[in-house]
Amino acid sequence: MKIFRTVLFFGTFGAIMLCPTVSAQDVLTGWFSAVHGDMQPGAEPEHHMKYFLTLETGDVVQLHIPEGLLSILGDIEEIQGQYSEVAGQIHAGVPQASLDVESLFYEMPRLRGGTVQGSKPWISILVKYSDIASEPENLAFFNGMYGSSVGQLNHYWQEVSYQNIDVLGSSSSDWRDLPQPQTFYAPTPGSGTSANLTAVFNDAIAAHDPFVDFTNGGTGGYEGINIMINGVLDCCAWGGGRFATIDGISKSWRVTWDPPWAFGDEAVIAHEMGHGFGLPHSNNSDGDGNPYDSPWDVMSSATGYTMTDPTYGKLGKHTIAYHKDRLGWIEPGEKLLIDTQGIFTVVVDHLALASTPNLRMVQIPIGGSSSHYYTVEVRDQAGNYDGNLPGFAVIIHEVLSGRSEPAWVVDGDAVPANYADTEGVMWRVGEKFSDPANEISVRVDAETSNGFEITVSTISCADAFLAALSDWPGSEDVITLLEQLFCD
């Protein structure tokens, strides 16, 4: 028996309601997919999303979902691959139909919001537009990209996940021709968002199917598919998921669509694979809508402050603690959830450290919420992938579940920086972050061998003094004076 959650929306500014009377709607059922479109580094920063429904016939319909409904859906990554029912106005189209979504039902529970563990082999399939003959890299380049040496993707994902995942068994399939020219798949090459990702996916799979066992030896299929293309698409490289039946395996495949500039810097491939693993972007806190302005996360500014490799260009750095925790890569003993009032002094080690007896992160609920909180982590210019970060410091994120980029870097400057590489986002010894409205503060007390000792307070400053002076026969006047002298 299928259990659905219902989300309904009418009109851009219309009412949100449950179980309304709906008329003259087209209703479709199938599997929901979402993909992120990421601009080429150096281009005008803009993030795009596309949504699809794979019908039981195998046909794919593009979904146009209004912002109001997206805000209700919340964490779109968790709906990836969900069996869903959508209603709205359908538009016949060539080469793909689309639907203006007015309501959406998805099967409970959500499927993809959990941990990512174990071996996750991918396959790269290399395709050429029928009117472009070039082969930007050879097969050995793509096979080597999945290798286990420093700078290669199996080594990268093992280090970033603390050995929780690997991509062992990944492989590549040599260049094959697509049946159509570039402008069939991307009407405005290098710009816009009109690339027909469905046609690229279908034709790439068809071109390689005679040469590739997509079941991966009958093991349930490769985890993901990197489609490497010999020319640009539209504005972007794309990464996310696509529900499809390939060689008899029906599932939500993790998929990326990568033009040459994407596989020219492995950091971009790591970013798109991150979307495939269910990670959103993170952001800084300037509120400009640009999700590529935090150098602390491969899922934000992927190519900023990176290590480089002579073969694979700019390499991915680590992702942030919120994302690692989301995927189940931070062990319970490595995370402190402060859900009581008090003062807590702990040691947090830098996030790229392979193992630690200390903490990797601290989570501090805001107003007692489980969906709105601060995370505290330490980043250092250390390791194989974080060696070129802006500095050695405590980094704090405000996390709000349901936001398109849930984690935003906290900036202590009065006007947040446009790019989060400033001193305002790097909390060092003697500095303190304060949120007095929520009675939260984080003070950096001392540097340790691999991180920092910090003190987190979740009580008011006055209460902290009362606690400290509880055994001293002082007066309220003394406590008030001390508060004025030492409290923010």
pLDDT tens digit string along 50-87? 999 999 999 999 999 998 898 888 888 888 999 999 99
pLDDT tens digit string along 299-356? 999 999 999 999 999 999 999 999 999 999 999 999 999 999 999 999 999 999 999 9
Shared domain for 101 and 215, answered yes or no, is no
Shared domain for 398 and 462, answered yes or no, is yes
Q: How confident is the model at residue 22 (pLDDT cuts 50, 70, 90)?
A: very low
Residue 142 lies in a domain: yes
pLDDT tens digit string along 147-186? 999 999 999 999 999 999 999 999 999 999 999 999 999 9
Residue 103 lies in a domain: yes
Q: At what angle do helices 461-468 and 476-486 cross, to 10 degrees?
A: 120
Residue 326 lies in a domain: no
Residue-level pLDDT at 23: 44
Shared domain for 349 and 306, answered yes or no, is no
Q: What is the CATH number of the domain that holds 100?
A: 2.40.50
Q: Is 294 a residue whose pLDDT tops 90?
A: yes
Shared domain for 50 and 179, answered yes or no, is no
Residue-level pLDDT at 128: 98
Residue-level pLDDT at 464: 65
What are the Cα distances from residue 55, in Å, to 7, 24, 172? 19, 20, 29
Q: How confident is the model at residue 469 (pLDDT cuts 50, 70, 90)?
A: low
Shared domain for 251 and 297, answered yes or no, is yes
Q: Cβ(215)–Cβ(245) under 8 Å? A: no
17-21, 218-222, 297-301, 393-397, range with the lowest pLDDT:
17-21
% of the chain beyond a pLDDT of 70: 88
Q: What is the average pLDDT score of the chain?
A: 90
Shared domain for 49 and 68, answered yes or no, is yes
Structure tokens that stand for 46 in this block: 């803009």
180-184, 359-363, 422-426, 474-478, range with the lowest pLDDT:
474-478
Beta-strand ranges (E) seen in 155-281 are 165-166, 171-177, 224-229, 236-246, 249-258
Shared domain for 134 and 275, answered yes or no, is yes
Residue-level pLDDT at 106: 86
pLDDT tens digit string along 408-462? 999 999 999 999 999 999 999 999 999 999 999 999 999 999 999 999 999 976 6
Residue 91 lies in a domain: yes
Last residue of a domain, one of 108, 132, 159: 108
Q: Is 367 a residue whose pLDDT tops 60?
A: yes
Look up the domain containing 387 and give its range. 335-486
Residue 477 lies in a domain: yes
Residue-level pLDDT at 76: 87
* Signed CA dihedral, 337, 432, 289, 235: sign only: negative
User: How many alpha carbons lie under 13 Å from residue 61 in its C-beta half-sphere?
Assistant: 28
Shared domain for 195 and 307, answered yes or no, is yes
Last residue of a domain, one of 76, 108, 140: 108
Lookup result for tokens 């693993």: 277
Residue 329 lies in a domain: no
Higher pLDDT, 319 or 23: 319
pLDDT tens digit string along 108-156? 655 545 789 999 999 999 999 999 999 999 999 999 999 999 999 999 9
Shared domain for 285 and 406, answered yes or no, is no
Structure tokens that stand for 182 in this block: 């570039």
What are the Cα distances from residue 263, in Å, to 260, 400, 468, 469? 5, 32, 57, 60
Shared domain for 152 and 280, answered yes or no, is yes
Shared domain for 12 and 102, answered yes or no, is yes
Last residue of a domain, one of 74, 108, 142: 108
Q: What is the CATH number of the domain that holds 242?
A: 3.40.390
Shared domain for 55 and 128, answered yes or no, is no
Q: How confident is the model at residue 472 (pLDDT cuts 50, 70, 90)?
A: low
Q: Is 477 a residue whose pLDDT tops 90?
A: no
Residue 319 lies in a domain: no
How many domains in the chain? 3
Residue 113 lies in a domain: no
Q: Cβ(266)–Cβ(153) under 8 Å? A: yes
Report the alpha-carbon distance of residue 315 to residue 269 in Å, rounded: 9
